């Protein structure tokens, strides 16, 4: 179930809610872009995932919708990173026609570090290839705020 940042449940299909929000934001005259990112956190044998749709009002803040999902099994890090990407690509694919209709740019943010010193780096090439092969812009840490900041806030 999708919610606003403040916890209100979105009752309509997410595609309808996103289109309605875009129409509202476009009336402001600001340039808008959408960033989608997912993050996960392990709690024992449970993994909490969160996916964020971030509406960036360029030069004037933004807002977001979030969806949480839970899996109760141990998931190796590389698989978890790719599951995060899968969650983001799934929603990006659903929103793509709407964003193209209003000529809104979209980025998919991966909670994967470009620095080889970090364990998540092992998933970088697969994640980048997957996202770019779908025709989407790929953003990794440290610039991937939709995943590493926005979605991260909801993985508890």
Q: Write out the two tokens for 1.
A: 């179930």
Distance CA 127, CA 116 (A): 15
The string of pLDDT tens digits covering residues 105-133 is 999 999 888 888 888 887 888 888 889 99
The string of pLDDT tens digits covering residues 4-18 is 999 999 999 999 999
- Domain hosting residue 14, numbered range: 2-154
Distance CA 149, CA 96 (A): 23
pTM of the model as a whole: 0.93
- How many domains are there within the chain? 1
């Amino acid at each position: 179930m999708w919610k606003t940042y403040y916890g209100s449940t979105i009752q309509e299909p997410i595609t309808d809610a996103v289109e309605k929000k875009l129409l509202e934001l476009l009336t402001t005259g600001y340039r808008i872009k959408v960033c989608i990112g997912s993050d996960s956190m392990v709690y024992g044998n449970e993994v909490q995932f969160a996916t964020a749709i971030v509406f960036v009002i360029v030069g004037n803040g933004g807002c977001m919708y979030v969806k949480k999902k839970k899996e109760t099994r141990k998931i190796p890090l590389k698989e978890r990173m790719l599951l995060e990407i899968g969650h983001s690509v799934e929603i990006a694919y659903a929103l793509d026609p709407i964003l193209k209709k209003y000529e809104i740019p979209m980025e998919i943010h991966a909670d994967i570090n470009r620095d080889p010193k970090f364990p998540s780096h092992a998933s970088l090439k697969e994640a980048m290839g997957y996202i770019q092969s779908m025709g989407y812009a790929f953003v990794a840490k440290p610039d991937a705020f939709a995943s590493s900041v926005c979605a991260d806030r909801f993985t508890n």
